[in-house]
Amino acid sequence: MTTVSERPGAPAIEEPPDTGPGVPDSGERHRLTAVQGLAALSLDAMASVAYGPEAVVLVLAAAGGHGLGFTLPVTLAIAALLAVLVASYRQVIAAFPDGGGSYAAAKTHLGRRTGLVAAASLVLDYVLNVAVAVTAGVAALTSAFPGLYGDRLWLCLGVLALITAVNLRGVVDSARAFVVPTAVFVGAILTVVAVGLFRDGPVSTEAAAGHASVLADNTTAVGALLLLKAFAAGCSALTGVEAIANAVPTFRAPRVRRAQRAEVALGALLGVMLIGLSVLISRFGLQPVEGVTVLAQLTDASLGHTWAFYVVQCATVVLLALSANTSFGGLPVLMGLLARDNYLPHVFALKADRQVHRHGVLALAVAGGALLVFSGGDTNTLVPLFAIGVFVGFTLCQTGMVRHWRAAGRPAKALLNGFGAVLTGVAALVVTATKFTAGAWLIVLALPAIVGVFEVVHRAYGRIGEGLGLGRVPEAPRRDHSLVVVPVSGLSRLTCEALTAAVSLGDEVRAVTVTHPDPEDRAAAAALRSAWERWNPGVDLVELPSPTRTVGRPVAAYVRRVYRYHPGTRVTVLIPEVEPAHLWERLLQNQRGAVLAHAVRRDTDAVICRLRFRLPAARELPDPERD
């Protein structure tokens, strides 16, 4: 059992050890180790080094070569913010071991409505991350193979389907599948940085040869606004830092310790890669060009235009495409927490045997697929919308942690989180203002809309709870007279089984059959009456005449008459159905049971019981010749 210290701010948490001899395996083998968590939940953050430094360079290029000289200082500021975020989310993990990250911190310390805003921002970020990651990976692929450009939407949907299928197998299976690509990518980037630091100049510029420079002809001054825009643009490299804190329950015990280790490792690797690449940009005097990524130019300058260059590019393509897995690791857990708090349908809180929130995984896949179709598989349509949601979540989370530390009497930590909240808040405002006409307006509208959906669901559950009297001691149960109604259409073993079950359930049993005025139907009804009298099961057969061919409405009308003339009676409608031995044989059935159940459920308050009678397979039937 997990116990949390009562002292405010105390992160002391005791958790059970790993599963081992004599310790029951309560699903622990389907949870993540620290290394697996790093692979499954950090792909988004890792892949951001492919576009984070480039975002900084493209903004500073407006000031020409002089502006590019500020690449390293801006990156160092981003790295400092990364350190603040890692420290903050490390404490969030300890304070909220059930996961939820920004949502949990904001809800606890800033109020319910603010927590919902944080949750909505995370939902948007995760859904957009899926679409951006897949389209970016496919874009890199079509850059290498232009003939595939016309099929990029189908390629995007195929990659999304593959990632979804892997995650439906379980979070551990997805982590194992992505450990190797993550390790190859990190190793490749660190190799580029390490080798480049020993170069006096670029080994090769072949990748950029023949491509036009994007440096501005009419350069602007390097002012505070330009640096602020570059900082905000580069902060896109920080997306994904929160994923581990959102998905703490997916780690093996001790969950908090493993999640904190994964968070620190992510921050260290991401910081080293970002700073290392920015140092190389300054060292090689790199200038951004059209059609070639900054990372490709750095790889070319450091390793040369050899096989190593293509290894790095391929690793980048794979990791960009797979970085959507971060959303599949974080969003289903967040949706589970929202469902537990009655802000989403409770089905999202259900887990499969492999500790998978399958409904959350499928919902994310559907939403991501819809965005891919909307954008036509074009990355540029989605990128302006990407970072706003996560910056809002960062800001609310750190603001919540400021109140957490102030209540705990830790002003130094409160100051650190407050500084981080200011930086991420400014970044959110700058990105929203500069990208508003490019699509950011959609996020401004979507955030309150999602919060509105949360509130509608919450109110609906509130009404349901009030109607059920949840939280109140109910009155003592009483025994009412019970009547079991059994719809029948003929005599068979199914009829016998249904009446046997009915007399075991209720005080009184009535069999009902719907009759129609057509001549052949009247003959069939007469034959049934005659057979029923010969059988004499001790149960009355009630005929329900109907002028139409429907069967559900007459039965529902009969139940309503029972309630009208005998208001204290508890009515159960027992519907006998055949369960075929083979799945395909269900296509041969007339679905009469489903029609009856729907009509009775819609028009009455009767209890519906569907009795399944399993037919034996052919091999299970007696062989007359053998007997």
Greatest mean pLDDT among 170-174, 374-378, 434-438, 561-565 lies in 561-565
Top-confidence residue, 405 or 51: 405
- Residue 12: per-residue pLDDT: 37
Alpha helices in 145-242 (DSSP H): 152-168, 171-197, 224-234
- Residue appearing with tokens 């480049």: 196
- 3-class SS at 305? coil
Decide: 278 and 72 in contact? Cβ < 8 Å. Answer: yes
Measured in residues, the chain has a length of 627
Query: Which string of DSSP letters, residue by residue, matches 462-525?
Result: HHHHHHHTTTSPPPPP----EEEEEE-SS-SHHHHHHHHHHHHH-SEEEEEEEE-SSHHHHHHH
Decide: 606 and 559 in contact? Cβ < 8 Å. Answer: yes
Average pLDDT on 250-274 reads 86
Top-confidence residue, 173 or 619: 173
- Residue 308: per-residue pLDDT: 85
13 confidence band (pLDDT: 50, 70, 90): very low
* pLDDT 10s digits, 101-111: 778 888 888 88
Is pLDDT above 50 for 382? yes
Greatest mean pLDDT among 165-179, 210-224, 241-255, 440-454 lies in 440-454
400 confidence band (pLDDT: 50, 70, 90): confident
* pLDDT 10s digits, 119-147: 888 888 888 888 877 877 777 677 666 67
Tokens of 12: 């002391």
Phi/psi for 611 (5° steps) reads -85, 120
Q: Assign 3-state DSSP to the chain and report helix, strand, coil percentages, each to 5.
A: 65, 5, 25
Tokens of 10: 């105390």
Average pLDDT on 203-219 reads 63
574 confidence band (pLDDT: 50, 70, 90): very high
- Residue 22: per-residue pLDDT: 40
Is pLDDT above 90 for 169? no
b/e for 113-144, b at 16 or more Cβ within 10 A?
Answer: ebbbbbbbbbbbbbbbbbbbbbbbbbbbbbbe
Mean of the per-residue pLDDT values of the chain: 79
Average pLDDT on 236-261 reads 80
* pLDDT 10s digits, 36-67: 777 777 777 787 787 778 778 877 777 766 66
Q: Which of 85-89, 144-148, 472-476 has the lowest mean pLDDT?
A: 144-148
User: What residues contact 140, with CB distance under 8 A and at least 6 apart?
Assistant: 313, 316, 317, 320
Average pLDDT on 447-455 reads 91
Sequence letter at residue 188: A
Q: Which of 275-284, 361-370, 468-477, 565-574 has the lowest mean pLDDT?
A: 468-477
- Residue 171: per-residue pLDDT: 59
Top-confidence residue, 305 or 575: 575
170 confidence band (pLDDT: 50, 70, 90): low
- Residue 513: per-residue pLDDT: 92
* pLDDT 10s digits, 533-556: 999 988 999 999 888 878 888 999
Average pLDDT on 225-230 reads 77
Greatest mean pLDDT among 60-74, 139-153, 191-205 lies in 191-205
